[in-house]
Amino acid sequence: MNWLSKIVSVSGLAEKAGEMVGDRVVSLVESEVTRYRNVEEGLGRLRRTSGRINCLLTDAEERRYIEDESVINWLNHLKSVSFDTDDLLDEYQTAINVHNHSANVAPSPSLKRKWYQIDLPTISPEWGPFQRRRFASEINKIDKRLDEISKSRKNLRLKGEDGKRKHSSHPSFHTGPCHDPARIIGRDDDKNEIVNLLIPAQTSASASAQKITVVPIHGAPGIGKTTLAQMVYDDPRLDCFNIKAWVCLTERCDVSTAMKKIYEKMTGLRCDFGDIGRLQERLREFLKMHEDNKFLLVIDNFWATDLHYWEMLRVPLLAGGDGSKVLITTRNERTYQIMQGVIQRPSLKGLDEEDCWQLIQSLSLSQGIINHDHEKLVSIGKEIAIRCHGSPMAAKALGAVLNGRSYEEWSDVLSEMRPLNDDINEAVRASLKISYHHLKYHLKRCFAYCSIFPNGYVFERDQVIRYWIAEGLIQPDGRRRLEAVGSKYFEELVWRSFFEKITIGTKGQNAKHFSRQIERYRMPSLMLDIAMEVSKYEFRSFESGKPLLEGNHDNPDQVRYASFLQPKNTNTVKLECLEPYSNLRTLKFCHELNEGVVVLNSIRAPFFRKFMHLRILDMSNSDLKLVPDSVGELIHLRFLGFSNTKITTLPEKICDLFNLQTLELKGCLKLAVLPEGLRRLINLRHLDLNLDWEEIIDSTEVALPQGIGELEGLQTLSRFNVTSSDKGQFCNISELNNLNLRGELCILNLEKVSTGHAEKANLQGKQFIENLMLRWHSSALNDEQLQQQSEEVINFLQPHNRLRCLWIVNYPGTKFPDWMGDTSFSSLETIRISNCNNDRFLPLLGQLNWLKNLLIDNITVDEITMPGGFPSLEHLQLLNLSSLQSLHVENEIPKLKQIDVSDCPNLLELVIHRHLHDKFERENCPNLSRIICVPLE
């Protein structure tokens, strides 16, 4: 019997059952077909639902205090669905955008393969059935989860009016100095006491018997130790120290790292080795080498309690001059009790109630404006001040909360503070938590996101803002750039004391260069504790070889942000603990010591395929050498960081990252070439190739491919290497024409630039470039044919008059451009001229009304005569002038504060105005024997 006969012989019941099954199959197929056809409709519905979810979450965070754990869990589930919906919508929108873009620009074969391999919708008007089925399935899963969440809401009987209501009004934020000295209240007596202890003439006899005197500032967290130390450090009475340095130690910072920081800050030199014995010897030699080697060293957050740690740091400091001092801040009293030469001082007390009120008032009440509720506000404010328990951090945070608020809102804050007990640590922490609760929702999200930074981590403003943008945490504000909106967010968090600006300071013979200061910040440890608490469901901190750090909650599906921490003295990185967390949107690698190097070397290709939802991948400060192609499959990626790694190339597949906004390659000294398809990254906003300008040499190159000029949204291109014109695959300087760049621009190898291309570069039209380096190869100095060409080129490279810092290196011309003396440069404060053949630029620079800093180094001249002008010049520095024999500063320079002359071995004569004599400092000028002081006329 054949198979057909067997089917025919089946009983009637079977036939009837078959008909029923067949009908159901047909019905299911029809349902599936309907779903496939309605994918776009389903996505549109999800987009609308996503908007409503965000409104609900915003309302929950901004208008209610929610304490019920079941409600908090319900909101977390809702937030998790919101993340997944966002991923699905982003995947769909990416496919549409790539299709629209490819209609005008044919994508490379690798781009087509990429979309096929990860099973995205076909890059064509009509999707294939497999793509539609996958999207329909994902939409169905999200719909079911939303149904479950809706049922849970009914079971919880949640209503719109549930939760304690907050006032919905939000005061307008007015930016201002985040560390205005006028707002440092109640510390003058403490400052004067410490300054008097540090001034050598005021040191007690017992302390002066010690080679180094240690002055401690000890106190509870948030009591103002660092602020007080900063006040002391900036006091002009301590300018008697020829070397001043500020070092901040992070928690668990080992002694080698601490020694390295001290060496770098005191010498002003970069250190690339970590052997503590070598560091000690180098620092000892540096101090012995200088006659005026009396120093003031501030160590902020000194935490070690064992004597050996301090002794390792102290030994090389013994080479300093008599009267050298060390000022430390610490939470632990034992840290300084074990030290030799320490001056015993009582712990730093909190501010008194009146000072706390003055601090709150300076931030909360408009000066000179008294309304009808003023007296009531004063009464409530003084009650709040009492509950700050003397903590200036709490007073500042709450003062910012009260700014612009009504009497009822002040009363609410006081009510929230009434239950606080007398434990200062708990009271301060609770006050800061109140400050967090009163943030707007978008600021809460930005602050909580920063829990990815380890304790003591130092960050730059731009880095954090780029993270926020990549994660979609910045709300669009009309036509303003997202970076500008993010900057406003950042300033408000600084103003409210959630971030603090840190000091990086040196003074005296170690300050050999005019550095382009970059403001750096960190989160106070108490604030970081709050950030980790409020982000505990979404953030994880991993440690190599361990599943979870203490305090983390284990729910992998909800975790979106992670930092991977490599412990000190660990040479093997184990990434297995990350594998369950496939929903990660941010993955940042960092070393426990913050300045250490993460040992990655290379990562296998399959690793990234486990984290397909990543928007931020930051592998900076690691020993990474090879980047696998699989990085190019992370279609959601917005931020990719390889700064300070050992990479030499980047895979071409990176150019498939259609959504990429930031590619950070700072400090990549071995990177020689960028991928050819870079022009395809049409959403790229920041291509950060920054190198410390002091480290740039003739061999510093990274070849840029053709098409950079097509990246219309590019704002950051910090380094531009000009490549020979015969290599057509690389871009030339004319591609800068239409780019609206910002911040810093360093142009190298200008000897390869034609005048036509220089003119088309349009530097004069780039009004947001603040720091500019123009550099020729050193070989150009001896090429007579390049002299005239370089003079024409530099004429066409005139920058916009908003420029702040200009550095010209290896310029072979004999004539400097007239624009260098253009008085329209109203912001130009710093100029450095290096390796040039003459000093004919001085008359031009004397006309600049706002020039404050002038550094001249490695020029070949026998005599320098400062001409008239320079109305605002404060600091003149001459460095490495081997042929200089005579220096004349005869004309009065009214605002000049300091003249530094270093490494000028043949300098014989100095002619100087009498009023400048005390402002002259020299180093390594052994033949200077004649100093003539010219009296004022």
Tens digits of per-residue pLDDT, 353-408? 999 999 998 888 865 555 667 888 899 999 999 988 888 999 999 999 998 888 88
Is the pLDDT higher at 747 or at 3? 747
Query: What is the distance between the alpha carbons of residues 137 and 343, in angstroms, rounded to a whole number?
Result: 71
Looking at the DSSP bridge assignments, the partners of residue 246 are 298
Query: Coil, helix or strand for 566?
Result: strand
Q: Mean pLDDT of all residues in the chain?
A: 82
Which pLDDT band, with edges at 50, 70 and 90, does 601 fall under? confident
Asked whether the predicted pLDDT for residue 100 surpasses 60, the reply is yes
Going 257 to 263 to 264 to 269, the CA torsion angle's sign is negative
Q: Under 8 Å CB-to-CB from 203, ≥6 apart: which residues?
A: 197, 213, 323
Pairing of β 886-889 and β 863-865 = parallel
pLDDT at position 511, please?
44
DSSP state, residue 214: E
Cα angle 479-481-486, degrees, rounded to a multiple of 5: 125
Question: Is the separation of the CB atoms in 108 and 677 below 8 Å?
Answer: yes
Q: What is the mean pLDDT of residues 589-607?
A: 78
DSSP state, residue 49: H
Residue 731's Cβ-count burial label (10 Å; 0-12, 13-18, 19+) is buried
Which pLDDT band, with edges at 50, 70 and 90, does 508 fall under? very low
Question: Is the separation of the CB atoms in 830 and 808 below 8 Å?
Answer: no
Q: At what angle do helices 374-386 and 392-402 cross, to 10 degrees?
A: 150
Which pLDDT band, with edges at 50, 70 and 90, does 818 fall under? very high
Query: Considering only 1-15, 661-675, 740-754, which range has the smallest mean pLDDT?
Result: 1-15
Is the pLDDT higher at 772 or at 596? 772
Query: Coil, helix or strand for 494?
Result: helix
Asked whether the predicted pLDDT for residue 555 surpasses 90, the reply is no
Which pLDDT band, with edges at 50, 70 and 90, does 893 fall under? confident
Query: What confidence tens digit (pLDDT) does each residue in 841-871 have?
Result: 999 999 999 999 999 999 988 999 888 889 9
Query: What is the distance between the alpha carbons of residues 160 and 461, in angstroms, rounded to a whole number?
Result: 38
Q: Which percentage of the chain shows pLDDT scores above 70?
A: 82
Asked whether the predicted pLDDT for residue 145 surpasses 80, the reply is yes
Residue 46's Cβ-count burial label (10 Å; 0-12, 13-18, 19+) is buried
Strongest mean pLDDT among 4-18, 37-51, 194-208, 752-766: 752-766
Helices and strands (DSSP H and E) totals, the chain: 26, 31
The pair of three-digit structure tokens given for residue 750, joined into one six-digit string: 């200008």
DSSP letters spanning 298-344: EEET----SHHHHHHHHHHHTTSPTT-EEEEEES-THHHHTSTTB--
Query: What is the distance between the alpha carbons of residues 750 and 732, in angstroms, rounded to a whole number?
Result: 11
pLDDT at position 478, please?
87
Query: What is the distance between the alpha carbons of residues 636 and 906, in angstroms, rounded to a whole number?
Result: 61
pLDDT at position 510, please?
41
Query: What is the distance between the alpha carbons of residues 876 and 408, in angstroms, rounded to a whole number?
Result: 57
Query: What is the distance between the alpha carbons of residues 658 and 203, in angstroms, rounded to a whole number?
Result: 64
Query: What is the distance between the alpha carbons of residues 298 and 256, in angstroms, rounded to a whole number?
Result: 17
Question: What is the helix (H) or strand (E) element at residue 410, kind and residue range?
Answer: helix 407-417
Residue type, 162: D
Asked whether the predicted pLDDT for residue 624 surpasses 70, the reply is yes
Asked whether the predicted pLDDT for residue 700 surpasses 60, the reply is yes
Query: Coil, helix or strand for 412?
Result: helix
pLDDT at position 728, please?
59
Asked whether the predicted pLDDT for residue 559 surpasses 90, the reply is yes
pTM to 2 decimals?
0.87
Query: What is the distance between the alpha carbons of residues 481 and 486, in angstroms, rounded to a whole number?
Result: 9
Q: Under 8 Å CB-to-CB from 570, ≥6 apart: which residues?
A: 544, 545, 599
Which of these, 859, 866, 839, lies nearest to 920 by C-alpha position?
A: 866
Residue type, 706: Q
Q: What is the mean pLDDT of residues 104-129?
A: 44
Query: What is the distance between the alpha carbons of residues 148 and 160, in angstroms, rounded to a whole number?
Result: 19
Which pLDDT band, with edges at 50, 70 and 90, does 115 fall under? very low
Asked whether the predicted pLDDT for residue 208 surpasses 80, the reply is no
Cα angle 689-690-696, degrees, rounded to a multiple of 5: 110
Q: Under 8 Å CB-to-CB from 215, ≥6 apart: which residues?
A: 194, 197, 198, 325, 326, 327, 328, 342, 343, 345
pLDDT at position 201, please?
60
Pairing of β 520-522 and β 459-460 = antiparallel
pLDDT at position 789, please?
92
Cα radius of gyration (the chain): 32
The pair of three-digit structure tokens given for residue 924, joined into one six-digit string: 């390594």
Q: Indicate left, alpha or beta for 506 from its phi (over 0: left) and psi (-120 to 50: alpha).
A: beta
Query: What confidence tens digit (pLDDT) does each residue in 427-477 have?
Result: 788 889 899 988 999 999 999 999 999 888 889 999 999 999 999 999 888
For the chain, the distance separating the N- and C-terminal CA atoms, rounded to the nearest angstrom, is 129
Which pLDDT band, with edges at 50, 70 and 90, does 111 fall under? very low
Is the pLDDT higher at 97 or at 915? 97
Strongest mean pLDDT among 116-130, 203-217, 422-436, 912-926: 422-436
pLDDT at position 303, please?
84
Query: What confidence tens digit (pLDDT) does each residue in 271-282 have?
Result: 777 678 888 898
Query: What is the distance between the alpha carbons of residues 845 and 496, in angstroms, rounded to a whole number?
Result: 42
Query: What is the distance between the alpha carbons of residues 302 and 219, in angstroms, rounded to a whole number?
Result: 12
Alpha helices in 103-254 (DSSP H): 109-117, 129-156, 188-198, 205-208, 225-234
Is the pLDDT higher at 533 or at 912? 533
Q: What is the mean pLDDT of residues 709-719?
A: 94
pLDDT at position 209, please?
46
Q: Provide the 10 A C-beta neighbour count for residue 188.
A: 10
Asked whether the predicted pLDDT for residue 410 surpasses 70, the reply is yes
Query: What is the distance between the alpha carbons of residues 350 and 222, in angstroms, rounded to a whole number?
Result: 9
Query: What is the distance between the alpha carbons of residues 619 and 587, in angstroms, rounded to a whole number?
Result: 8
Query: What is the distance between the alpha carbons of residues 172 and 488, in angstroms, rounded to a whole number?
Result: 12
Question: What are the distances in angstroms from CA 458 to CA 250, 453, 478, 521, 923?
Answer: 9, 8, 32, 6, 33
Is the pLDDT higher at 553 or at 627? 627
Beta strands across the sheet bearing 863-865: 863-865, 886-889, 909-913, 930-934
Residue 233's Cβ-count burial label (10 Å; 0-12, 13-18, 19+) is buried
Is the pLDDT higher at 595 or at 176? 595
Question: Is the separation of the CB atoms in 259 and 281 below 8 Å?
Answer: no
Question: Is the separation of the CB atoms in 474 and 485 below 8 Å?
Answer: yes
Which pLDDT band, with edges at 50, 70 and 90, does 576 fall under? confident
The pair of three-digit structure tokens given for residue 588, joined into one six-digit string: 């940042």
Query: What is the distance between the alpha carbons of residues 357 and 367, in angstroms, rounded to a whole number?
Result: 14
Q: Provide the 10 A C-beta neighbour count for residue 851.
A: 21
Query: Coil, helix or strand for 31?
Result: helix
The pair of three-digit structure tokens given for residue 564, joined into one six-digit string: 């991977």
